Structure formats: C-alpha cells, structure tokens
Amino acid sequence: MIARLKAAEKGLLYIHRHCKGDASETGLVQFAQAIYDLDQHRKSHPTHTYTSNNKQIECLIPFSSDIKFNCFIRDMGGDEGLTLFMKGAPERILKRCSKIMQNGAEAEFTPELRAEVDQANKDFGKLGERVLAFAKCKLDPSKYTKDYKFDLKGWKTWGLDMDKSAADYASIEGSFPMHDLCLVGVVSLNDPPRINVDLSVQKCRSAGIKVIMVTGDQPPTAAAIAHKVNIIKHPNREFNHMVNELGMTTEKAWEQSTGIVVHGDLLAEKHLA
C-alpha cells in the first residue's frame, strides 16, 4: 500500500507532492524540482560516509540557530571526487567565500562583487524576503580521499571563526576547508506572516502590551516583516534605517526612533562584555 501511495504521489505535479522540512527547505525543494529530479540527483551524488570504530559516519553539519548554516560533503562521482556544500544566512556564508561562480567558472570575489552581492541581499531583505546564501568547495582528492576521517564533532575549534582562512588549520588532523569557499549565489524566498497577525499585534498594543519579535532572519528582513505585522509602525523611523540610510548620528537617531532591530550577535557581544 505504501509503495502504491508513493507511486501515485510521483504522478502528481511536483508542487502538490508531500515535502518534509520547514518553509525554507520545502520552498527550495519545490524550486529545484522544477529544474531536475532531486531524488535522482541525490542518488547520483550521495552524502559521503566513512567508517570509524565500526560505525558509519555521515559527513554533514546540521543547521542550528547558533551557527545559522548547514554543511554537507557529497561524493560527486568520477573525477569530481568529494565536494563540500554550505547553505545558510548570508552574514555567515559570504565572509567564508574568497571566490564566486561566474558563467560556470570560479572567479575572484572582489570588493566590487561583494558590494553587488551585499546590495542584492539588502534589497531582498527590505522586501521581507528570507535570503539564503550557497557556497561550495571542491576538495583536493590527494588529501581528502574516501577514507579521510573528517572531524565533524570538533570542527568548531578551528572552523567556527568566520575571519580565518583554510590555510590556518590545514595541518590539523581531520580538518577540512570551511573558508576560502566559492559563492554559488543567493536565493530569496517569500515567507509571508500568518493571516491576522497584524490585527493581533494591534489588539495587544491597544491593551497596553509591548510586542517584541524574535526571529532568525537577518535585520533588513526582520524590519520589513515587523512593519507588515504592525510591530514597527514607522519604518522610516527605525534606528538602523535612520543611521545607515539617512546618515543620522546614533545620538540623534536614538532620540527620534520609534523602533529598533537588534542583531543577536550584538546581544551576545554585550552579554560577554
């Protein structure tokens, strides 16, 4: 019966098929499925595994709200060998890239290209779009063989700092490149607020309740969504907008602003200080 149901589902238009994962993952899957068959692509390029202490180790770093990205090492087959793929928040991926994919070839990620990508990221974010960045790195087959023991548990000791380069930890046993990656591109997804959230926020305000939104989205996206649901009533008077876009001093912006978006990294810095 299960086999019949799966066969019947494959006969449906791809956007009507059951898809596991959160809104971002399912959106990406449905987008990619229109280009090529994901099931076949995954079978052709499986996640790399190796054996350690009689256990099969799958080479991946799962997404978490702490690191804001996930990472896979896939076996691309033939002469391609092993390739690392990383997907996550632009502010966590772009700093790890020293190259960018252009017309199917890797090119230097120059300051001019960085500025162009940053602007696209900001433009998408201001529309309330959720933006994800994608990067990859083809691993040197002379070092990263099929039997190489990738350190997927202790990677934070050498791979967490975004300002490093791959050469800084190349000699560490079990390490693998998590810097000097090649940026493949950015994708924006429209994940609109649920219906009537704005009315609920307005009722809370009328009752004297101060509403604060906590989100994993980057600041421009967070500000746009907060405006859509009535948390930020006047987007032109949001603190960061007044400082970065209008050129006000922080003191003057603080006096006149009616809302503020605070990045989690800043909160962490203040807490540690």
Separation of alpha carbons 188 and 120, rounded Å:
10
Contact (Cβ atoms closer than 8 angstroms) between residue 96 and residue 155: no
Contact (Cβ atoms closer than 8 angstroms) between residue 105 and residue 167: no
Structure tokens at 263: 């990045």
- Residue-averaged pLDDT of the chain: 89
Separation of alpha carbons 124 and 216, rounded Å:
16
**Prediction pTM value:** 0.82
Please report the pLDDT score of residue 193 as a whole number.
85
| Residue 21 predicted with pLDDT over 80 | no
For the chain, percent helix, then strand, then coil, each to nearest 5?
A: 40, 20, 40
For the segment(s) 20-189, the CATH number from 2.60.40.1730, 3.20.20.70, 3.40.630.30, 3.40.1110.10 is: 3.40.1110.10
Q: What is the pLDDT of residues 44-55, one digit of tens each?
A: 999 999 998 889
Q: What is the pLDDT of residues 225-267, one digit of tens each?
A: 999 999 998 999 999 999 988 999 999 999 999 999 998 777 7
Q: What is the pLDDT of residues 121-171, one digit of tens each?
A: 999 988 889 899 999 999 999 999 989 999 999 999 999 999 999 999 999
Separation of alpha carbons 45 and 30, rounded Å:
19
93 — pLDDT class (breaks 50, 70, 90)? very high
Delimit the CATH 3.40.1110.10 region(s) of the chain. 20-189
Contact (Cβ atoms closer than 8 angstroms) between residue 133 and residue 88: yes
In three-state secondary structure terms, 3 is helix
Of 86-90, 171-175, 207-211, 267-271, least confident by mean pLDDT is: 267-271
> In Å, how far from its chain's centre is CA 115?
18
Separation of alpha carbons 63 and 70, rounded Å:
4
9 — pLDDT class (breaks 50, 70, 90)? low
Please list, in sequence order, all residues whose beta carbon lies within 8 angstroms of the beta carbon of residue 80, skipping any fewer than 6 positions away: 138
Sign of CA dihedral 11, 188, 85, 66: negative
Please report the pLDDT score of residue 15 as a whole number.
66
